[in-house]
């Protein structure tokens, strides 16, 4: 079996061509698309059409492999942590949004409306007044509490039903879900390792009973063979990791999501191997020292390879080397990554770094972050409040007047631009698309796309055999600006548009 360095090099290398072809053939089956491992022009792999698509056609929809909502967006948009669809009720979403407007006004900071045109001209740095801030300040605390608790109803909100929030099985308040099945799926996929547990007040009271309505922390601890005290120490360490990510670069959260998925899958793989050997057992591999004893290094390495598989073919580069950052900044980035990895390792059950040291090494952590910086897609899901307001606008005059009479004080307190859910995600197929400054496809959410899936549409007719490209940047920007932005992705674009503009530039200089 390979040394630690050998394992790291193996994880960084592209998987064998045959394996990649098999994987991409499965991923694109029936789509009219194929992934070619060499797209030409030194671009690496790329996606090609195998049939014609008309302009505007849907090329595909794809769920994310790893995902996270931006921390700053959490108070404004209450969404399922797994599929990003909005949850709760219109009333609860209204209450949360108005609270962020009020908090923004009190602290003089930018609020949810900071990007709206009405604010940008009036406030000067976010401290100024606007109509909706005044309307938000005029509402009584009890009114907002009533909305949040479901005691106060707004008119016609039944037109926009949202799923009832389901709690995290570990009892944390960080993640909420649109259903128990999403909650359980997230737990099984990654959250069992990233759950910070209940708030202090929600911990066991003196009588020993827990007010946590979900899976008791003790049950979660039992799955990993940890004592409750060890689990609590780990949860506090996790909070430190998350705070560090929020203060520095929240892509660390996305990277932790991927690492947790790999670790959970590797543990499961170990569990099935053990079950196979024992002929019985739970098979989830979650026990640190199960009946079969500590698994051997080779078994751990094979299990890690299996867990790593979904991310193995992602385009990787060390985060601090793959952007165009100057050397001093690159050294700072490397240090930040090292700090965040240290915090993450401290937050994991100790048997995991022991079993899977290569995954938790700096080169792999740096490459996962680099992979996300080079490949991720900004997730956006429109606010359901938009649909509610459109519904009110479309009511017959009499009903509309009555509705606005009742809802008016709340509607006036909403920002002009309703913030949607915003985050970052990594997708298996989307991450294979190369860039062009004259792309023939785009990632675009239609009205019906109400979750965190990537949706790729044709921008114009695409012929069979043509490479399908997206723009990673604002393709309308001038050539020099585009070059600078693409330097952060580590390449210089040679698309027809760039070549034509470069030629025009050269002719002008003559």
Ligand X SMILES: C[S@@+](CC[C@H](N)C(=O)[O-])C[C@H]1O[C@@H](n2cnc3c(N)ncnc32)[C@H](O)[C@@H]1O
Residues that bind ligand X (CB under 6 A): 43-46, 315, 374-375, 431-436, 489-491, 493
Least gap, CB of 325 to ligand X (angstroms): 15
Residue nearest to ligand X (CB): 44
CA distance 338 to 360: 11
CB-nearer residue toward ligand X: 92 or 436: 436
User: Alpha-carbon dihedral of residues 18, 20, 25, 27, nearest 10 degrees?
Assistant: 160
- Sequence length of the chain is 510
Which residues make Cβ contacts (< 8 Å) with residue 296, sequence separation at least 6? none
CA distance 360 to 358: 5
Strands (E), 335-460: 377-381, 421-426, 434-435, 441-443, 454-458
Q: How many H-runs (helices) and E-runs (strands) does the chain carry?
A: 20, 12
Least gap, CB of 166 to ligand X (angstroms): 33
Least gap, CB of 39 to ligand X (angstroms): 6
CB-nearer residue toward ligand X: 98 or 468: 468
Structure-block tokens of residue 326: 């100057």
CA distance 506 to 502: 6
CA 197, 200, 204 angle in degrees (round to 5)? 85
Nearest to 217 by CA among 209, 182, 177, 180: 209
Least gap, CB of 10 to ligand X (angstroms): 18
Which residues make Cβ contacts (< 8 Å) with residue 359, sequence separation at least 6? 11, 259, 262, 263, 266, 304, 308
Least gap, CB of 492 to ligand X (angstroms): 7
CB-nearer residue toward ligand X: 137 or 443: 443
CB-nearer residue toward ligand X: 286 or 431: 431
Least gap, CB of 7 to ligand X (angstroms): 22
CB-nearer residue toward ligand X: 356 or 489: 489
CB-nearer residue toward ligand X: 360 or 364: 364
CB-nearer residue toward ligand X: 451 or 467: 467
Which residues make Cβ contacts (< 8 Å) with residue 74, sequence separation at least 6? none
Least gap, CB of 16 to ligand X (angstroms): 15
Least gap, CB of 65 to ligand X (angstroms): 13
CB-nearer residue toward ligand X: 43 or 232: 43
């Amino acid at each position: 079996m390979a040394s630690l360095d050998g394992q790291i090099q193996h994880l960084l290398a592209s998987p064998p061509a045959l394996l990649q072809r098999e994987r991409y053939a499965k991923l694109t089956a029936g789509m009219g698309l194929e992934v070619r491992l060499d797209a030409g022009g030194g671009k690496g792999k790329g996606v090609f059409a195998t049939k014609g698509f008309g302009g505007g056609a849907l090329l595909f929809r794809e769920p994310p492999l790893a995902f996270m909502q931006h921390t700053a967006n959490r108070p404004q948009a209450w969404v399922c942590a797994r599929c990003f669809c909005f949850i709760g009720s219109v009333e609860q979403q209204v209450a949360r949004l108005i609270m962020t407007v009020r908090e923004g006004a009190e602290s003089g900071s930018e609020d949810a409306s900071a990007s709206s045109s009405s604010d940008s001209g009036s406030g000067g740095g976010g401290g100024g007044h606007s109509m909706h801030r005044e309307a938000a300040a005029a509402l009584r605390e009890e009114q907002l509490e009533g909305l949040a608790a479901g005691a106060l109803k707004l008119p016609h909100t039944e037109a926009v039903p949202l799923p009832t929030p389901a709690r995290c099985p570990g009892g944390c308040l960080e993640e909420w879900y649109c259903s128990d099945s999403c909650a359980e799926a997230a737990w099984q996929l990654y959250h069992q390792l990233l759950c910070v547990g209940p708030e202090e007040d929600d911990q066991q009271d003196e009588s020993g009973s827990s007010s946590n309505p979900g899976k008791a922390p003790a049950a979660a601890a039992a799955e990993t063979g940890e004592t409750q005290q060890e689990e609590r120490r780990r949860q506090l360490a996790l909070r430190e990791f998350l705070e560090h990510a929020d203060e520095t670069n929240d892509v660390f959260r996305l990277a932790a999501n991927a690492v947790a998925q790999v670790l959970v899958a590797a543990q499961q793989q170990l569990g099935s191997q053990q079950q196979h050997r024992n002929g019985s057992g739970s098979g989830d591999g979650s026990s640190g020292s199960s009946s079969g004893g500590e698994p051997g290094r080779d078994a751990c390495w094979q299990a890690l390879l299996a867990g790593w598989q979904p991310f193995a073919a992602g385009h990787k580069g060390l985060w601090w080397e793959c952007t165009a950052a100057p050397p001093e900044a690159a050294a700072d980035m490397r240090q930040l990554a090292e700090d965040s990895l240290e915090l993450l390792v401290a937050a994991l059950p100790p048997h995991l770094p022991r079993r899977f040291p290569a995954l938790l090494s700096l080169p792999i952590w740096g490459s996962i972050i680099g992979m996300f910086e080079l490949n991720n897609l900004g997730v956006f899901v429109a606010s359901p409040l938009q649909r509610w307001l459109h519904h009110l606008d479309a009511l017959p005059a009499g009903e509309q007047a009555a509705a606005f009479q009742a809802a008016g004080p709340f509607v006036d307190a909403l920002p002009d631009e309703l913030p949607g859910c915003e985050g970052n995600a990594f997708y298996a197929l989307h991450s294979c698309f190369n860039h062009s400054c004259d792309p023939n496809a785009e990632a675009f959410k239609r009205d019906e796309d109400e979750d965190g899936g990537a949706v790729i549409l044709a921008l114009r007719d695409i012929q069979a055999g043509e490479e399908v490209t997206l723009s990673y940047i604002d393709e309308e920007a001038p050539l020099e600006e585009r070059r600078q932005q693409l330097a952060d992705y580590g390449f210089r674009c040679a698309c027809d548009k760039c070549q034509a503009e470069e030629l025009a530039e050269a002719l002008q200089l003559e």
